[in-house]
Structure 1
Amino acid sequence: MARGRVLIIEDDKDILNLVAWHLKAADYEVLKAEDGVSGLEAAVREKPDLIVLDLMLPGMDGLDVCKTLKRNKETGATPIIMLTARGEEADRIVGLELGADDYVVKPFSPRELVLRVQAVMRRAAAPVPAQDVLSVEGIAVDVQAHRVWIDGEEVVLTATEFKLLSELMHNRGRVLTRDRLLDRVWGYQFEGYARTVDTHIRRLRQKLGPYAQLVETIRGVGYRFRERSAS
């Protein structure tokens, strides 16, 4: 039985087939698309458990595909791992801000990509161990149902955003370092990935609206979720 369905959107056939081979060897069901438009259509039609998305695509680039998927209620929570070139740091940051969960830089090890897929899939499937409902001021998190409400209105978070918010709220009042967040939320610690935490925190704050200030930056250390808003 397959461990999950992964859609690969990549126009380089050699990379596409290489990634597909390694994912199949790891017992994943694989879907393929070679351009942005067909990849977007496949994502909506097939509803994969995860998408591996190249940024440089013909017709419709990866950033536009990511933006469109995240705005669609049916695909907004689908995890996305971006494939980027080494010199595209700005595009990586934009991709994370648009809702991508992770990125892998080309040239990459297929084994590393499979490990990233496994880590992101685990995040999507397993919530942070905690009480069933976390609540601070106007924020309510149903851990088991993976649902979040701000002042009674439901807000859609990605799997990574949900895990990050749950981890912060579960440890409210405590300072969590970036390394700890990488370990607890992403499941790994690699040099240079602290920027990933910062980008996701910024995006999470945007979704928290009037309660963004509850996520406090502790300069040079990490982040803390306040017990209540500052007066």
Structure 2
Amino acid sequence: MISTILIIDDSDFQRKYLTSILKDKFSLYEASTIEDARNVYQSKKIDLIIVDNILEKSNGYQFTQMLRMDKEYGNIPVIMASAMDRPHDVQLGFESGINGYLFKPVNKERLFEMIFVLETDNKPKRKEKVLIIDDSKMIRSILKRAFEASGFTVTEAENGKEGYEAALRFKPDIITCDIEMPVMTGLEFVEAFRKHDEFSKIPVYMITTRIDDALREKAFKLGISEYIAKPFDPSEVTKIISKKLDVKYSMGKKPLILLADDSKAALHITEHTLLTNGYLVETVRTGLDALECIKKKKYDLIITDYYMPAMDGFTLISETKKIDINAKTPFIILSGADKKTTIMESFVHGAVDYVSKPFEENELIARITKILEL
């Protein structure tokens, strides 16, 4: 529970502005320098620090790095409030160890939302283990704090070779991995790791500054689960991973969607869209695999590509109608084949909707919501 906040800003106006926003709900302390701030958090119980990134004789990045090195006070959450809105400035903030970044003038609703998220981040202990592989000690530290705050058990490695050896010993449930590392790259790690049958389904999340499409496609072909670009918000990373893991433990509480697509990239994008909008998702890459799932379990909605090996989307719909538990389950065809004849055939075969790739997230979710309400 956050009840006491320290505001660090060398501008009297900015301190007064933040005080006016927060004074009715929190106990507040102010400081205009890092030295004054240190005296406050060492003598008072501070639950949250809000710091400007530009301070007289110093800056918020240096302050946060210094705080994170302090064994006694290093876990105090920090929000950076800044007039600097370049991606590089945001990246520097998260690399220094902040928990959130707000642009000035600070929006009251966004500030309270961020405080609420920090309050709810004190989650109970989870059973899952995370392996973080990155040659940047700072990135490992940021991710470790975020995962541990969410209740995960964490171990670290600074290159792909160490990560591979740690994975064999530690047997993690989740792995985050950079791409460009010495000794063994992230892609080389994934390729070697996936050769072990027992590790074939452990999710691997690439977190990297490399964002070119060819590299992304290669990573998905090797079997990664998610491709996250730096700079990143560590709390968002843990939310994405927690949400995917929670599908295993929450079956039946939310609408369950079966997603079939032979393209790893398309499957990943659609799965991510559905998960972040609160749906439970199971994925398969062929029509035959989809049919096996449909025989065993009731789904609220089935989304399928049209072109798939062995069994296409239309045949899958026809075969599903013969299976009692899913005979009335609605189908959406999600396909890059946008010919009018294909669209019309989709409805003739029994689909309730057709969405063209690439899709707009808001449109897809709106259509799904409407179908599930019927």
* Fold similarity call, TM over 0.5: yes
Change (3 A) 1:180 1:21: closer
**Aligned partner of 1:77: which letter?**
K
Task: Report the counterpart of residue 172 of structure 1 in structure 2.
Answer: none
- How big is each residue's C-alpha offset from its partner over 1:131-151, in whole Å with a ceiling of 9 and x where there is no partner? xxxxxxxxxxxxxxxxxxxxx
Q: TM-score, normalised by structure 1?
A: 0.61
- Structure 1 regions of 5+ residues with no counterpart? 130-162, 170-176, 190-199, 224-231
Name the CA distance, whole Å, in 1 between partners of 2:151 and 2:173: 13
Task: Report the counterpart of residue 47 of structure 1 in structure 2.
Answer: 171
Give 1:219 deviation, angstroms: 2.4
Name the CA distance, whole Å, in 1 between partners of 2:312 and 2:251: 18
Query: Secondary structure of 1:23's match?
Result: helix
Q: Is the 8 A contact 2:131 2:154 kept in 1?
A: yes
**Aligned partner of 2:259: which letter?**
E
Give 1:179 deviation, angstroms: 7.8
Aligned to 1:83, which of 207, 222, 243?
Answer: 207
Change (3 A) 1:182 1:83: closer
Give 1:101 deviation, angstroms: 0.6
Name the CA distance, whole Å, in 2 between partners of 1:24 and 1:120: 17
Of structures 1 and 2, the one with the larger relative CO (CA 8 A, separation 6+) is 1
**Aligned partner of 2:228: which letter?**
V
Name the CA distance, whole Å, in 2 between partners of 1:16 and 1:76: 24
Change (3 A) 1:67 1:178: closer
Name the CA distance, whole Å, in 1 between partners of 2:217 and 2:236: 20
Cα RMSD for the two superposed structures: 3.3
Aligned to 1:117, which of 223, 241, 263?
Answer: 241
Task: Report the counterpart of residue 143 of structure 2 in structure 1.
Answer: 19
- How big is each residue's C-alpha offset from its partner over 1:128-174, in whole Å with a ceiling of 9 and x where there is no partner? 76xxxxxxxxxxxxxxxxxxxxxxxxxxxxxxxxx98x4349xxxxx
- Structure 2 regions of 5+ residues with no counterpart? 1-124, 262-266, 278-282, 290-307, 314-334, 339-354, 358-374
Aligned to 1:106, which of 230, 234, 243?
Answer: 230
Name the CA distance, whole Å, in 1 between partners of 2:195 and 2:164: 12
**Aligned partner of 1:4: which letter?**
E
Q: Is the 8 A contact 1:79 1:120 kept in 2?
A: no
Task: Report the counterpart of residue 219 of structure 1 in structure 2.
Answer: 337
Give 1:85 deviation, angstroms: 1.2
Query: Secondary structure of 2:189's match?
Result: helix
- How big is each residue's C-alpha offset from its partner over 1:39-73, in whole Å with a ceiling of 9 and x where there is no partner? 01111211111000111111110001111111211
Aligned to 1:188, which of 276, 281, 300?
Answer: 276
Q: Is the 8 A contact 1:35 1:57 kept in 2?
A: yes
Task: Report the counterpart of residue 89 of structure 2 in structure 1.
Answer: none
Q: TM-score, normalised by structure 2?
A: 0.39
Name the CA distance, whole Å, in 2 between partners of 1:103 and 1:167: 19
Name the CA distance, whole Å, in 2 between partners of 1:78 and 1:179: 18
Give 1:9 deviation, angstroms: 0.4
Q: Is the 8 A contact 2:146 2:238 kept in 1?
A: yes
**Aligned partner of 2:237: which letter?**
L
Q: Is the 8 A contact 1:53 1:81 kept in 2?
A: yes
Give 1:215 deviation, angstroms: 4.5
1:58 aligns with 2:58: no
Change (3 A) 1:215 1:15: farther
Name the CA distance, whole Å, in 2 between partners of 1:90 and 1:31: 30
- How big is each residue's C-alpha offset from its partner over 1:160-199, in whole Å with a ceiling of 9 and x where there is no partner? xxx98x4349xxxxxxx99864444xx126xxxxxxxxxx
Q: How many residues align?
A: 165
Query: Secondary structure of 1:71's match?
Result: coil
Query: Secondary structure of 2:172's match?
Result: coil
Name the CA distance, whole Å, in 2 between partners of 1:222 and 1:50: 32
**Aligned partner of 1:219: which letter?**
A
Query: Secondary structure of 1:212's match?
Result: coil
Q: Is the 8 A contact 1:80 1:102 kept in 2?
A: yes
- How big is each residue's C-alpha offset from its partner over 1:103-123, in whole Å with a ceiling of 9 and x where there is no partner? 110011111111122123234
Change (3 A) 1:40 1:215: farther
Task: Report the counterpart of residue 155 of structure 2 in structure 1.
Answer: 31
Name the CA distance, whole Å, in 2 between partners of 1:106 and 1:180: 21
**Aligned partner of 2:311: which letter?**
L
